[in-house]
């Protein structure tokens, strides 16, 4: 006796779905889904931390720029005082 099986995508999908329940991959798939969720949570936390660090770095660069400007101003004043002192001591 010959059974005729119509090969359509719906039959193939039904056949594969029937096999999925027998293959024992559900546990592994669930573990992978949980791992993906954990990784997504870790990624979200790292994105927030990265954003915070960028803001902090920007603030530190701004502070450094201000301090550098202050240092240059102080250096110019000291150079001027040295020049004045040198000209006074020559007299």
pLDDT band at 60; cut points 50, 70, 90: very high
How far is CA 23 from its chain centroid?
38
Q: What is the pLDDT of residues 5-41, one digit of tens each?
A: 556 777 767 777 765 555 678 888 899 999 999 999 9
User: ∠ at Cα 84 (82, 86), nearest 5°?
Assistant: 65
| pTM beyond 0.75, yes or no | no
- Where do the structural domains in the chain lie, given as residue ranges? 9-89
Between these two residues, 61 and 1, which has the higher pLDDT value?
A: 61
CA torsion through residues 81, 84, 87, 88, sign: negative
**In whole angstroms, what is the distance from residue 29 CA to residue 22 CA?**
14
């Amino acid at each position: 006796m010959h059974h005729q099986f119509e090969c359509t995508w719906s039959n193939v999908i039904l056949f594969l779905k029937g096999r999925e329940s027998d293959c024992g991959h559900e546990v592994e798939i669930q573990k992978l889904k949980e791992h993906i969720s954990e990784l997504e949570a870790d990624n979200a936390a790292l994105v927030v931390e990265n954003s915070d660090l960028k803001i902090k770095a920007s603030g530190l660069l701004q502070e450094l720029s201000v301090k550098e400007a202050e240092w240059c101003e102080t250096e110019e004043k000291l150079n001027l005082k040295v020049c004045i002192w040198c000209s006074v001591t020559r007299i």
